[in-house]
Structure 1
Amino acid sequence: MFALTACGFQLRGSYAVPPQMQFICFDDGGKYELGRALKQRLIHSKVSLIDDPSSCVSLSIVETQIDRQVLSLFPNAQVAEYELNFLVKYKVQNPNEETARVFTAQVVRDYQDDPEAVLAKSKEMKILLAELRRQAAEQIVLQLASLDNR
């Protein structure tokens, strides 16, 4: 156990954010599902969410975008596989800075479609979108943890 802690090993998902980001004012920008996932990730990383933007780092989600591109087709020209691209733009502003810095997080997944099982595939799509939001939230927290070096 000592050797693991000495080498800097951390459990997956437990990212140490810089000391100046221990208190964050968070605005989900109306993106409730992503906002909920991001709040959980921040709290898991021991970040306190407060409401006073003048005294803490401000984090706000600017835009989310989901693109779906066709990857392959069945012989009858129906879509067999999609690529889902989930893009999140967010901004971070320190209380002592005039302008906010804008960052992006992107998650890409393949999705196989079956025109014969429409109901099952729609439920699978909802689960997949929730997973994309969770991964994007994790990526945002990871990027926040690396902001100390930028």
Structure 2
Amino acid sequence: MPVALRSIALLVVGTLLAACGFQLRGSYSFPFNSLYLSVADYSVIGAQLRRSINASSPTLLVATASEAQVIFVPGAEYRDRVILTVSGTGRVSELRLRYLFPYRLTDNKGRDVVPPSSVELVRDLTYDDSQVLAKQQEESLLWRDMELDLVQQLMRRLAAAKPVFVDAGT
């Protein structure tokens, strides 16, 4: 009897999830056929973005900008660490981590096909002087999590982009 009851419960949960519109994140469909990433080879964001595009999109990553229909041009990324609160003894008790990543999408002639935009990520972190090593590790994990979140947001934004390509005849 428990097996039958478990099967029915699983069927009900599956039906409810399908009815509410839930679906797993699938592959991304970009509105362009080829893309050049104008990021350094050693860049963490560039490597993760390349890996994500290769794994989940039919869009071709090309080696040179002249071959690409669209060029991804990152701006100067900005990382910031701001003190939010200070204890009564003057010690830091809370920090805010900010990560700003501006970017542009251009065609191979340098014209913007999507207006310049940026992704801003913010994470708050409690701080304790008695646990300095643990808090440093937590901060580095938060930065890494923000990098992964940034790549996912860039993938969604690239998929949702509505590029306007200028014809050669106009």
- TM-score interval (norm. to shorter): 0.7 to 0.9
**Residues 68, 134 of structure 1: CA spacing in aligned structure 2 closer, same or farther, 3 A cutoff?**
same
Alignment TM-score, normalising by the size of structure 1:
0.80
Higher normalized helix content (fraction of residues): 2
Q: Which residue of 2 aligns with 1:35?
A: 46
Q: 1:104 aligns with which of 115, 118, 125?
A: 118
Q: Which residue of 1 aligns with 2:8?
A: none
Could you give the per-residue CA deviations for residues 97-149 of structure 1, whole angstroms, max 9, x where no partner exists? Answer: 63464220111111111111112221222111111111111111111111127
Asked whether 1:63 is paired with 2:76, we answer yes
Q: Is the 8 A contact 1:72 1:82 kept in 2?
A: yes
Structure 2, gaps ≥5 residues long: 1-13, 165-170
Q: Is the 8 A contact 1:81 1:112 kept in 2?
A: yes
SS state at 2:130 partner: coil
Q: Which residue of 1 aligns with 2:34?
A: 23
Could you give the per-residue CA deviations for residues 19-41 of structure 1, whole angstroms, max 9, x where no partner exists? Answer: 31x42111224771122222222
SS state at 1:105 partner: strand
Q: Which residue of 1 aligns with 2:153?
A: 139
Could you give the per-residue CA deviations for residues 84-104 of structure 1, whole angstroms, max 9, x where no partner exists? Answer: 110001121123663464220
Q: Give the number of aligned pairs.
A: 148
Could you give the per-residue CA deviations for residues 30-73 of structure 1, whole angstroms, max 9, x where no partner exists? Answer: 77112222222222331332113123211122211012222222
Higher normalized strand content (fraction of residues): 1
In the alignment, residue 160 of structure 2 is paired with which amino acid? Answer: S
Structure number with higher relative contact order (C-alpha < 8 Å, ≥ 6 residues apart): 1
Structure 1, gaps ≥5 residues long: none
State the alpha-carbon separation in 2 of the partners of residues 142 and 77 from structure 1: 42
Aligned CA-pair RMSD: 3.0
State the alpha-carbon separation in 2 of the partners of residues 90 and 31 from structure 1: 18
**Residues 110, 95 of structure 1: CA spacing in aligned structure 2 closer, same or farther, 3 A cutoff?**
same
Larger radius of gyration: 2
In the alignment, residue 25 of structure 1 is paired with which amino acid? Answer: Y
Alignment TM-score, normalising by the size of structure 2:
0.72
**Residues 149, 26 of structure 1: CA spacing in aligned structure 2 closer, same or farther, 3 A cutoff?**
closer
